[in-house]
Amino acid sequence: MKLPGHDAIARQAGEHLVTQGVKLPRKVVERPIRQVAKRLLMALFVLVATALVVYADHDGYHDNADGSVDLLDAFYYATVTLSTTGYGDITPVSDGARLTNIFVITPLRVLFLIILVGTTLEVLTERTREEWRVNRWRSALRDHTVVIGFGTKGRSAIQTICATGLKKEQAVVVDPSAKAVDAATAEGYAGVIGDATRSDVLKRAEVHKARQIIVAPQRDDTAVLVTLTARQLNRTAKIVAAVREEENAPLLRQSGADAVITSASAAGRLLGLSVLSPAAGMVMEDLIQQGSGLDLVERPVVRGEVGKRARETDDLVVSVLRGHRVLGYDDPAVGTLQLTDRLITIVRASPGTRGTPGIRPLPRG
The span from the CA of 217 to the CA of 16, in Å, is 15
Q: Return the amino acid letter for 297.
A: V
Helix (H, G, I), strand (E, B) or coil at 243: strand
Q: Give the dihedral of Cα atoms 63, 69, 74, 79; nearest 10 deg.
A: -10
The span from the CA of 184 to the CA of 175, in Å, is 10
CA atoms within a 13 Å half-sphere pointing along the CA-CB vector of 87: 11
Tell me the torsion sign for CA atoms 105, 107, 109, 115: negative
The span from the CA of 30 to the CA of 8, in Å, is 39
pLDDT per residue, tens digit, the chain (365 aa), is 444 443 443 444 443 333 346 766 665 455 667 776 777 788 888 888 888 988 888 888 888 877 788 888 888 888 888 877 777 777 777 777 777 777 787 778 777 777 777 766 766 677 777 777 778 878 888 899 999 999 888 988 888 888 777 888 889 999 999 899 999 988 889 989 999 999 999 998 899 999 999 999 989 999 999 999 999 999 999 999 998 888 888 999 999 999 998 877 777 777 787 788 888 878 777 776 665 677 778 889 888 888 888 888 888 888 999 888 888 888 888 888 998 899 988 887 665 444 444 555 554 44
Cα angle 260, 22, 258 (rounded to 5 degrees) comes to: 15
- Spacing of C-alpha 153 from chain mean position: 16
How large is the angle between the packed helices 32-56 and 106-140, nearest 10 degrees?
Answer: 170
pTM of the model: 0.57
Distances (CA, A) of 322 to 57, 301, 306, 334, 344: 92, 11, 13, 8, 11
